[in-house]
């Protein structure tokens, strides 16, 4: 797996709504390492169906879904990295959301590509704390703190 490979492509049978390649109705976010390997990044352009009802404003639940999925993949990727293992190698490292706290800084536009940037704050253990920022280029519209819990 090289640094440009999308993490979600490791588990092609994943049916998660936000990130699962096998969910035909899903959002299909694609997370990968930043060029410097310090962050997990993704870009997402939303479909108009994720509108909040106001012109050019994304529904907050969609924003939460994006940061949730991206943060969980960040925790998984950092856990594999901490063990010097290839993402997806056996035994699998899987995480679920233990806590999601999101701050909506300002409305997130639906018409612009969104950038997600996440990293682990603190150590890698059974519970992993992830910080995730989201917004169009150069403008953060939401910030989340996610506690990811290893289940395997």
The answer to whether the predicted template modeling score (pTM) of the entire model surpasses 0.85 is yes
Could you tell me where the beta strands, DSSP code E, fall in the chain?
32-33, 40-44, 95-104, 114-120, 127-136, 142-150
Whole-Å CA distances, 59 to 54, 62, 64:
9, 5, 9
Distance CA 86, CA 25 (A): 29
Query: Using an 8 Å Cβ cutoff, are 97 and 146 in contact?
Result: yes
Locate 128 and state its tokens: 């992993």
CA quadruple 64, 60, 40, 143: dihedral sign: negative
pLDDT in tens, the chain (152 residues): 555 689 999 999 999 999 999 999 999 999 999 999 999 999 999 998 999 999 999 999 999 999 999 999 999 999 999 999 999 999 999 999 999 999 999 999 999 999 999 999 999 999 999 999 999 999 999 999 999 999 98
Nearest to 42 by CA among 11, 65, 67: 67
Please state which CATH number belongs to domain 7-150: 3.10.129.10
- Beta bridge partners, 132, equal 118, 144
Distance CA 72, CA 42 (A): 13
Query: Using an 8 Å Cβ cutoff, are 29 and 14 in contact?
Result: no
CA 82 to chain centroid, in Å, comes to 19
Distance CA 8, CA 114 (A): 18
């Amino acid at each position: 797996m090289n640094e440009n490979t999308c993490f979600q492509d490791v588990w092609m049978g994943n049916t998660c709504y936000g990130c699962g390649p096998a969910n035909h109705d899903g959002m299909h976010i694609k997370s990968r390492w930043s060029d410097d390997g310090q962050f997990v990044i993704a870009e997402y352009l939303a479909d108009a169906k994720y509108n909040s009802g106001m012109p050019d404003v994304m529904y907050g639940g969609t924003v939460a879904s994006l940061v949730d999925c991206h943060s969980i993949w960040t925790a998984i990727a950092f856990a594999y990295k901490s063990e010097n293992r290839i993402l997806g190698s056996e035994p699998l490292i899987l995480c679920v959301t233990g806590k999601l706290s999101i701050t909506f800084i300002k409305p997130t536009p639906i018409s612009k590509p969104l950038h997600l940037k996440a990293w682990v704050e603190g150590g890698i253990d059974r519970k992993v704390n992830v910080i995730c920022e989201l917004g169009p280029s150069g403008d953060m519209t939401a910030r989340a703190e996610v506690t990811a819990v290893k289940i395997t």
